[in-house]
Structures are given as structure tokens and as C-alpha cells.
């Protein structure tokens, strides 16, 4: 069903790319390079070192951690 809206953390990805000017793959790679770390430590890193807002940082981290558990 290609017309279904994207749900969950990935729904933030277009606005993250637009606001911070980097492809989502770069943000995901950055999170993976800081692993292993706790979810909130990774969120704090994106916020403090890269100026990302909490919701956007949380979405990237949640997506990466869920994807890497598969």
C-alpha cells in the first residue's frame, strides 16, 4: 500500500533532513558510531553536539535502536 502515510519515528525523517541539512543515513550512522550507549545518552549527544531538538533526536535514536535489534 504505497499511499499509506509513514508512521512512527520515520515520519520525522523528512523534517529532520530539511531542518538540519544532512541525509537521515548520516544521522543514523552517527548514532551507530556512538553505540553501545543508552537511548537517552544518544539523544543527549544529538542534542548537545549537533543542536538537534529532543523530538527529532529521539526519533532517530528510536529508529536506529529498533532497526539494529532485528
What is residue 55's predicted lDDT score, i.e. its pLDDT? 97
Ramachandran region, residue 35 (left: φ > 0; alpha: ψ -120 to 50; beta: rest): beta
What is residue 4's predicted lDDT score, i.e. its pLDDT? 75
Q: What is the pTM of this model?
A: 0.89
pLDDT tens track, the chain, 70 positions: 566 778 888 999 999 999 999 999 999 999 999 989 999 999 999 999 999 999 999 999 999 999 888 7
Question: How buried is 29 (Cβ within 10 angstroms: 0-12 exposed, 13-18 middle, 19+ buried)?
Answer: exposed
Amino acid at each position: 500500500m504505497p499511499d499509506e502515510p509513514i508512521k512512527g519515528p520515520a515520519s520525522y525523517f523528512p523534517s529532520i533532513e530539511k531542518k538540519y541539512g544532512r541525509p537521515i543515513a548520516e544521522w543514523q550512522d552517527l548514532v551507530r558510531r556512538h553505540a553501545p550507549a543508552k537511548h537517552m545518552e544518544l539523544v543527549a549527544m544529538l542534542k548537545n553536539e549537533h543542536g538537534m531538538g529532543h523530538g527529532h533526536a529521539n526519533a532517530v535514536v528510536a529508529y536506529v535502536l529498533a532497526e539494529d535489534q532485528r
